[in-house]
Structures are given as structure tokens and as C-alpha cells.
């Protein structure tokens, strides 16, 4: 391989990028736009759940229970007047997610030692929010019931009963349970996959459409020189996107960075190399820019967004989809990013993901050079 010829191709691609400032601005602006949109608009946190109350008891006991809900950051009581019909109307209008109905016999049942009934009505249109709201509400009710039970036993025995089991909760790596700490690192992988695949998927296809590919065919340029040369300019552009994304994630969204910066750089370079090679392979297969763009979208954006674990948990997917997700390189890069950012772990733990990305890079590079070589032959 002749590095002089490779550098000539790279210089040509750099000049082509600089001559098209709109594409350059778009390539550098998309990461910022996506991070700002996803970071601010996409939130998986379920708190301040709009709640309506129908307190038919109107007793000190029922007000004590409602104070439990008011004190929780997960609930926001927006309506306390009305009955079941009012709750139904509010849920139908989308004004509330949770309805709490306290029966008129609530206080009497508690005083007499009978089980007191509290009805929780949830809007199941959004199953994820409803399931989390149900868990939070049941936790509040159960904690209040445990406290009432302790009071009852204290009054009967005349001595304070010690707690049999006292749980001590400690959350590692994302103690505040902020969804942006989970979303932003994964979004970096999605951005790099989209930018890299889409930018390079048009390179060779553009040469064919502009009629300049014949001039390339007349040169002594080898396939690996053409691939590396065309990829070099976009590799630098991809690194700039990665720096922008990491900077915004750490300094704008305050995502904790606990890992090694050199390890992050190496893993980013490996993933970026594979993504760029994939784009060139797509461009070599499709001589039309439109077809190359469509294939690039289908093979980069959708798998990286849906099958990488960026938002949707892979463990909850059907078994067939879980098997398919193993061939998505973004899945392994998302794992690497979250491990480096949030957990501060290194290659000793993440060696399998790094190994897969290296194998992926080798296979795609060989495929791209062979496909480009068949075009040059």
C-alpha cells in the first residue's frame, strides 16, 4: 500500500468537504441538535404523576394517607374534589394518570381493626408509566400500612416493637436515577453511527453519478488506498462530532464521567472506523446516492436506535430479536460507553465488547476493500 496515494485521496475528500460548507455545518450541527433534543425532551423519569383524589371518608386517617402521597416526589395531587365520575372524566381527558378512591368506611375499618380498602385507578394507555406509577403507589400504601400496624401493636402490647427487617437501599452508578445519565451516553453511539454511515455511504456513489469514477479507474490506486483515503477525512469529522457530543453530555447535561479518557478515545476510534467502512461498503454496492442513502438509514439508524439498548432494554425483547441484536455493533459500543461513563470500568470487564468491535472492523474493512476492488477491476 502506498501512503502517498492514500494521502492524495484523503486530501481530495477534505477539499470536497470544505467546498460544501452546508454539509459540513450539518454534519457538525446534527450531534448538537440531537443531544439537545433528546437530552431535554426525552425523559424516562416518572415523577410528579398527576393524581386525582376522591376522599369519601374525609377523616384524619384518610388525610394522613393523602399526606403520604403529597410528601412523595412521584405524585402531584391536582384534584381533591369530586367522586369516581370526576376521576373517570379526568383520566379520559388525559389530565391525570392516577386516581385514588378512599371509601367512606376507611376510618371505621382502621379503628375496628378491619382491612381498610383504598382503590387505585390507573390510566393504562402508557403501559410503562402506568406500571411504574402502580409500583410507587403500592409502595406508599404499604409503607403507611406497615406504620399503622406498628402503632396498633404498640398500643396493644404497651411496648415499642422493633422492626424485624430494616432495608438499607443504596443505588450505584446513577444514584439520583436521572434518565439523562442513561440516555446521553447511548445517544453518542447512535449519533456516530448515523453520521459515519450516512456521510461515507454517498462517497463512491457520488463518484459514479458525477462521472469521476472513470478517472479513478485510470489511476494505479489500490482498493485499500481508496477506502482509507476516503475514510480519513470523515474519520476526522466523526472525531469532531464525538468531542462535541461528549463535551455537551458532560458539561451541559452533567452526565458523570468516571472512566478513562484514553479508553474512551480508543473505543470511539474503533467504532468509528467500523461505521465508516460500513458506509463505504454500502456506497460501493449502490451506485445511486438515493439508494445508498436509503440503505444507510436502514442499516445504521434503525438498528442503532432500536436494537442497541440505547433506550429499549434488550432483555425485554423477544428471543429472536435478542439474537438479531448481537450483530448490531452499536449494541456493544453503547455498553462500552455506559460502562466507561457511569461505572468507570475498563478493558478487564469490557474486553468482549471491544473484541467484537475489532472483529467487526476487520470484517467490514475487508468487505469494503473487496467490493471497491471489484469496481476498480
**In this predicted model, which residue has the larger pLDDT, 88 or 177?**
88
Residue 334: HSE in the Cβ half-sphere, 13 Å Cα cutoff: 27
Q: Show the domains of the chain with their CATH numbers.
A: 3-43+181-376 (no CATH), 49-157 (3.40.1710.10)
**In this predicted model, which residue has the larger pLDDT, 40 or 217?**
40
Q: Is the pLDDT of residue 140 over 70?
A: yes
Residue 84: HSE in the Cβ half-sphere, 13 Å Cα cutoff: 8
Q: Per residue in 229-266, pLDDT tens?
A: 888 888 888 888 889 888 988 888 888 888 889 999 99
Q: Is the pLDDT of residue 271 over 90?
A: yes
**In this predicted model, which residue has the larger pLDDT, 213 or 322?**
322
**Residues sharing a CB contact under 8 Å with residue 288, sequence separation 6 or more, in sequence order:** 205, 208, 209
CA 16 – CA 71 distance, rounded (Å): 60
Q: Per residue in 181-203, pLDDT tens?
A: 878 888 888 888 877 777 777 77
Q: Report the pLDDT averaged over residues 219-230.
A: 78
Buried b (16+ CB within 10 A) or exposed e, 85-102: ebbeebbeeeebbbbbbb
| Of 199, 195, 260, residue with least CA distance to 35 | 195
| pLDDT, position 355 | 92
The 10 Å Cβ neighbour count of residue 105 is: 14
| pLDDT, position 211 | 66
pLDDT band at 155 (very low <50, low <70, confident <90, very high): low
Percentage of residues of the chain with pLDDT beyond 70: 88
Q: Are 212 and 204 in contact (CB under 8 A)?
A: no
CA 224 – CA 62 distance, rounded (Å): 75
Q: Per residue in 78-134, pLDDT tens?
A: 877 777 888 888 888 888 888 888 888 877 777 777 777 788 888 887 777 788 888
| pLDDT, position 269 | 93
Q: Is the pLDDT of residue 160 over 80?
A: no
Amino acid at each position: 500500500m502506498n501512503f502517498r496515494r492514500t494521502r492524495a485521496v484523503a486530501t481530495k475528500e477534505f477539499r470536497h468537504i470544505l467546498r460544501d460548507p452546508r454539509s459540513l455545518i450539518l454534519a457538525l450541527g446534527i450531534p448538537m441538535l440531537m443531544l439537545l433534543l433528546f437530552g431535554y425532551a426525552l425523559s424516562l423519569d416518572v415523577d410528579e404523576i398527576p393524581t386525582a383524589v376522591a376522599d369519601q371518608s374525609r377523616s384524619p386517617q384518610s388525610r394522613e394517607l393523602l399526606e403520604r402521597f403529597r410528601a412523595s416526589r412521584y405524585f402531584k395531587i391536582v384534584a381533591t374534589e369530586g367522586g369516581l365520575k370526576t376521576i373517570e372524566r379526568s383520566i379520559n381527558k388525559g389530565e391525570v394518570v392516577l386516581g385514588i378512591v378512599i371509601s367512606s368506611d376507611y376510618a371505621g375499618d382502621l379503628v375496628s381493626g378491619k382491612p381498610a380498602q383504598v382503590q387505585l385507578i390507573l390510566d393504562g394507555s402508557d403501559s410503562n408509566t402506568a406500571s411504574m406509577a402502580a409500583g410507587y403507589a403500592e409502595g406508599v400504601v404499604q409503607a403507611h400500612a406497615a406504620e399503622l400496624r406498628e402503632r396498633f401493636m404498640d398500643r396493644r402490647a404497651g411496648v415499642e416493637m422493633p422492626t424485624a427487617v430494616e432495608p438499607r437501599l443504596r443505588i450505584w452508578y446513577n444514584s439520583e436515577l436521572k434518565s439523562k445519565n442513561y440516555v446521553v451516553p447511548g445517544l453518542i453511539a447512535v449519533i456516530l453511527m448515523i453520521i459515519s454511515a450516512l456521510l461515507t455511504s454517498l462517497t463512491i456513489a457520488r463518484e459514479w453519478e458525477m462521472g469521476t469514477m472513470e478517472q479513478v479507474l485510470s489511476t494505479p490506486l489500490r482498493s485499500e488506498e481508496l477506502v482509507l483515503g476516503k475514510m480519513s477525512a470523515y474519520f476526522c469529522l466523526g472525531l469532531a462530532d464525538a468531542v462535541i457530543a461528549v463535551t455537551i453530555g458532560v458539561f451541559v447535561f452533567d452526565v458523570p464521567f468516571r472512566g478513562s479518557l484514553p479508553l474512551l478515545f480508543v473505543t470511539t476510534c474503533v467504532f468509528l472506523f467500523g461505521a465508516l467502512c460500513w458506509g463505504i461498503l454500502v456506497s460501493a454496492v449502490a451506485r445511486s446516492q438515493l439508494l445508498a442513502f436509503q440503505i444507510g438509514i436502514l442499516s445504521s439508524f434503525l438498528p442503532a436506535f432500536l436494537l442497541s439498548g440505547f433506550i429499549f432494554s434488550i432483555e425485554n425483547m423477544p428471543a429472536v430479536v435478542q439474537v438479531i441484536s448481537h450483530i448490531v455493533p452499536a449494541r456493544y459500543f453503547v455498553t462500552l460507553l455506559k460502562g466507561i461513563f457511569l461505572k468507570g470500568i475498563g478493558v478487564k470487564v469490557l474486553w468482549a465488547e471491544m473484541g467484537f468491535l475489532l472483529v467487526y472492523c476487520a470484517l467490514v474493512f475487508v468487505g469494503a476493500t473487496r467490493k471497491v476492488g471489484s469496481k476498480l477491476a
